[in-house]
């Protein structure tokens, strides 16, 4: 199929937005316009824009219709996070999370997304095995509705689920549209090698956050792609195989604590574009 370069809009300019003190609508418009400008600057047509339902200033049908028109006008393809499942014994909390997730899926599908990300809210009183079980049980419900809407759903590796657990979650759902969002840098937080983890989760990979890290003062800090610890020359050819079955977003994520966000985003785009061109994928 294809690879589409995208931008994890809210994270890439979060410090700029915080300093400007923008409200919800202005904040979303700011990162939307930044993404559209990046698409024009680097010739990514179309370009993906990665955001969550929770970041939208409204989910009213009128606003969503306006947003769909803006996406089309700017040749942007949405990758929309629909919400979370909750790993708790409290059935009322789980049921409320499912209801909210189903609403989020409706929004993602209406905006034209083909894949949608989710997270897991965890409770420290719940054992790891039970957390996994609670997540799987909810994904059986949420994933079935996502499939009816034509959506694949996926969760990223961050600071808790290992590659083995993410695979177990995907398989345990019993649904082929429940998979993994491969954040290339976050494997480092988990103590896994990004190249080997990418190879391991490849059959279940529906989306990617292409991100690099350096370790500074005990913190994995975002840097421009290609300037940190991740071996992208080995990783990207493996990751790109996930785009052979369906469209795969390479959503660039910088999320830096102390570097210039615009510069890091542009350098990341240059690196990814150069790799795509060199390998005949763009």
Domain borders along the chain are 3-278
Spatial neighbors of 17 by CB under 8 A, at least 6 apart, are: 10, 27, 30, 31
Low-confidence ranges of the chain (pLDDT < 70): 1
Closest CA to 268 of 82, 17, 37, 38: 38
Closest CA to 83 of 62, 65, 56: 56
What per-residue confidence (pLDDT) applies to 1? 60
Element containing residue 45 per DSSP (H, E): none
What per-residue confidence (pLDDT) applies to 269? 98
Distance CA 172, CA 184 (A): 23
What per-residue confidence (pLDDT) applies to 282? 85
Cβ neighbour number for residue 223 with a 10 Å cutoff: 24
What per-residue confidence (pLDDT) applies to 245? 84
Which long-range CB contacts under 8 A does 210-213 form with residues at least 24 apart?
A: 210/184, 210/236, 210/239, 210/250, 210/251, 210/252, 210/253, 210/268, 210/272, 211/183, 211/184, 211/185, 211/186, 211/252, 211/253, 211/254, 211/255, 212/184, 212/185, 212/268, 213/185, 213/188
Strands annotated E in 82-211: 83-87, 115-122, 152-156, 178-183, 205-210
Please check whether residue 171 is in contact with residue 136, taking contact to mean a CB–CB distance below 8 angstroms. Answer: no
What per-residue confidence (pLDDT) applies to 176? 97
Fold for domain 3-278?
TIM Barrel (3.20.20)
């Amino acid at each position: 199929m294809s690879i589409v370069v995208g931008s994890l809009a809210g994270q890439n300019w979060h410090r700029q937005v915080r300093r400007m003190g923008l409200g919800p609508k202005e904040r979303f418009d700011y990162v939307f316009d930044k993404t559209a400008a990046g698409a024009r600057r680097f010739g990514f047509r179309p370009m993906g824009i990665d955001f969550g339902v929770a970041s939208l200033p409204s989910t009213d049908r009128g606003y969503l219709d306006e947003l769909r028109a803006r996406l089309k006008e700017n040749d942007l393809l949405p990758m929309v996070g629909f919400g979370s499942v909750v790993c708790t014994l409290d059935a009322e909390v789980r049921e409320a999370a499912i209801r909210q997730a189903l609403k989020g899926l409706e929004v993602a599908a209406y905006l034209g997304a083909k894949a949608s990300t989710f997270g897991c809210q965890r409770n420290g009183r719940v054992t790891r095995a039970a957390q996994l079980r609670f997540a799987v049980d909810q994904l059986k419900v949420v994933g079935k509705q996502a499939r009816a809407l034509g959506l694949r759903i996926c969760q990223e590796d961050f600071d808790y689920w290992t590659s083995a657990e993410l695979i177990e979650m995907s398989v345990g759902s019993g649904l082929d549209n429940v998979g993994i969002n491969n954040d290339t840098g976050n494997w480092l937080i988990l103590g896994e090698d990004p190249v080997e983890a990418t190879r391991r989760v490849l059959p279940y990979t529906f989306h990617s956050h292409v991100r690099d890290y350096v370790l500074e003062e005990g913190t994995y800090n975002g840097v421009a792609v290609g300037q940190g610890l991740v071996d992208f020359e080995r990783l990207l050819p493996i990751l790109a195989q996930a785009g052979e079955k369906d469209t795969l977003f390479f959503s660039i994520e910088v999320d830096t604590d102390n570097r210039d966000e615009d510069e890091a985003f542009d350098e990341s785009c240059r690196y990814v574009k150069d790799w795509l061109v060199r390998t005949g994928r763009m």
